[in-house]
């Protein structure tokens, strides 16, 4: 297996995982992923930036062997999660002079998670740099992209940013660089929604700090490299900073058709009022698509039937997920049906404390919806359209 040269003395030595379909046994990977690792040769020191998922150890080692790497001085661990750090112990064994460079928090995690010996680790402070001879690495502490220990690494002379998870995408491709921005936008948005969105406020600060750096290439640890950095930086600014759009995200489940009748009617009522809708059947949904929809939506409405007095478990899952992802959603409501008694509404509301939303009057009905219930759905749709207009978002 061959290393791929990015610039003179700078190589991609990562692994493409074409066949992986789940991350954390939870997150769908419809397009696979990659674990990007980079080797930089300075005139005096050689450094490896991040490693790969442990199942891909042989790939990383083969690429290093292809380059004839006899010594590595530093292994930069931008992030302790095992898809990037998992092969550090093997690299340290193969290159006995190598030292791990990481943040103080990362040091503890590497010792806990991988049993990396303390005497092989050097910690670096925010904005500290190390010289490779003719090249310089600067370390930018950037907590919560995606764990608290994370940092970004900046190669000053070539103006390359190695941000690990940040700006990444789960996308297996033979292209080293972004070639199809539309496709990468979708993959990067999915990645942002699933991994980064809960840390929006931290990312906002990091984006501000990155304005101080000239960046000619963004080399993340998942997905293709960005040789037009403004593309991904601009996308992140939109997702993180801009107000939500005139969109209702409507995840729902229906057991016997009553909630489904309400959903069908409600979607039409929203469309008539100029509100865009993204509807997801929770029985079959790709949760990545649901997460992506939450990136931009001003309103979340959960369609929930009652089972065993509480919310159907799939609706509870959607509420749990939205609460965990902390989107910039401003409004929320609940619609659904029950047979003889229900606490579905109260329990769903109790599950979304992280969402800083205004709760709009839910519509919960007994059995099949009646005429008055459809009028209540009309009223909810009108309220949403008005709220969206007040956000400055055009409705038809
Ligand atoms: Fe790609 Fe947070 O690891």
Would you state the pLDDT for residue 278?
Answer: 98
Find the 347 Cα to ligand 1 centroid distance in Å.
32
With a 6 A CB cut-off, is 226 part of the ligand 1 pocket?
Answer: no
With a 6 A CB cut-off, is 81 part of the ligand 1 pocket?
Answer: yes
Answer whether 18's CB lies under 8 Å from 46's CB: no
Q: How far apart are the C-alpha atoms of 326 and 138, rounded to whole Å? A: 31
Tell me how far CA of residue 165 lies from CA of 236, 294, 347, in angstroms: 13, 20, 34
Answer whether 103's CB lies under 8 Å from 124's CB: yes
With a 6 A CB cut-off, is 170 part of the ligand 1 pocket?
Answer: no
With a 6 A CB cut-off, is 222 part of the ligand 1 pocket?
Answer: yes
Instruction: List the chain pLDDT tens, one digit each, 396 residues.
Output: 999 999 999 999 999 999 999 998 888 999 999 999 999 999 999 999 999 999 999 999 999 999 999 999 999 999 999 999 999 999 999 999 999 999 999 999 999 999 999 999 999 999 999 999 999 999 999 999 989 999 999 999 999 999 999 999 999 999 999 999 999 999 999 999 999 999 999 999 999 999 999 999 999 999 999 999 999 999 999 999 999 999 999 999 999 999 999 999 999 999 999 999 999 999 999 999 999 999 999 999 999 999 999 999 999 999 999 999 999 999 999 999 999 999 999 999 999 999 999 999 999 999 999 999 999 999 999 999 999 999 987 666
Beta-bridge partners for 131: 136
With a 6 A CB cut-off, is 146 part of the ligand 1 pocket?
Answer: yes
Q: How far apart are the C-alpha atoms of 107 and 115, rounded to whole Å? A: 10
Would you state the pLDDT for residue 26?
Answer: 86
Q: How far apart are the C-alpha atoms of 373 and 355, rounded to whole Å? A: 27
Compute φ and ψ for 166, nearest 5 degrees.
Answer: -60, 135
Query: Widest CA span of the chain, in angstroms?
Result: 79
Would you state the pLDDT for residue 396?
Answer: 65
Find the 195 Cα to ligand 1 centroid distance in Å.
8
Question: Could you tell me the pTM of the whole model?
Answer: 0.96
Q: Whose CA is nearest to atom 3 of ligand 1?
A: 81
* Residue 258 CB burial class (10 angstroms; 0-12, 13-18, ≥19): buried
Q: How far apart are the C-alpha atoms of 264 and 259, rounded to whole Å? A: 9
Angle at Cα 251 formed by Cα 243 and Cα 385, nearest 5°?
A: 45
């Amino acid at each position: 297996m061959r290393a791929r040269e990015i610039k003179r003395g700078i190589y991609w030595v990562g692994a493409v995982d074409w066949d992986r379909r789940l991350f954390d046994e939870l997150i769908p990977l419809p397009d696979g992923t990659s674990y990007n690792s980079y080797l930089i040769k300075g005139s005096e020191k050689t450094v490896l930036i991040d490693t790969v998922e442990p199942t891909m150890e042989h790939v990383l080692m083969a690429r290093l062997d292809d380059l004839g790497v006899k010594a590595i001085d530093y292994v930069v661990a931008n992030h302790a999660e095992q898809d990037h750090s998992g092969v550090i112990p093997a690299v340290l064994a193969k290159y006995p002079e190598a030292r791990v460079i990481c943040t103080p928090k990362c040091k503890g995690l590497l010792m806990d998670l991988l049993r990396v010996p303390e005497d092989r680790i050097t910690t670096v402070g925010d904005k500290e740099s190390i010289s490779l001879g003719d090249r310089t690495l600067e370390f930018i502490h950037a907590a919560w992209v995606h764990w608290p220990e994370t940092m970004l690494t900046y190669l000053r002379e070539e103006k390359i940013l190695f941000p690990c998870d940040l700006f990444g995408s789960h996308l297996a491709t033979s292209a080293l660089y972004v070639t199809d921005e539309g496709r990468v936008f979708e993959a990067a948005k999915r990645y942002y929604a699933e991994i980064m969105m809960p840390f929006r406020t931290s990312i906002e600060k990091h984006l501000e700090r990155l304005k101080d750096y000239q960046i000619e290439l963004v080399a993340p640890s998942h997905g293709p490299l960005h040789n037009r950095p403004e593309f991904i930086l601009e996308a992140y600014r939109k997702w993180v900073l801009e107000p939500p759009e005139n969109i209702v995200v409507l995840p729902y489940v229906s057991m016997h058709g009553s909630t489904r009748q309400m959903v069908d009617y409600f979607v039409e009522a929203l469309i008539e009022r100029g509100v865009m809708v993204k509807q997801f059947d929770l029985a079959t949904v790709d949760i990545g698509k649901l997460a992506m929809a939450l990136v931009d939506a001003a309103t979340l409405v959960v369609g929930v039937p009652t089972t065993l007095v509480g919310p159907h478990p799939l609706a509870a899952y959607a509420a749990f997920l939205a609460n965990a992802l902390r989107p910039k959603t401003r409004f929320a409501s609940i619609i659904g049906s029950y047979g003889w008694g229900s606490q579905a509404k109260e329990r769903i509301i109790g599950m979304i404390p992280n969402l800083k939303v205004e709760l709009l009057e839910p519509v919960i009905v007994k059995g099949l919806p009646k005429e008055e219930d459809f009028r209540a759905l009309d009223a909810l749709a009108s309220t949403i359209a008005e709220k969206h207009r007040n956000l400055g978002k055009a409705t038809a």
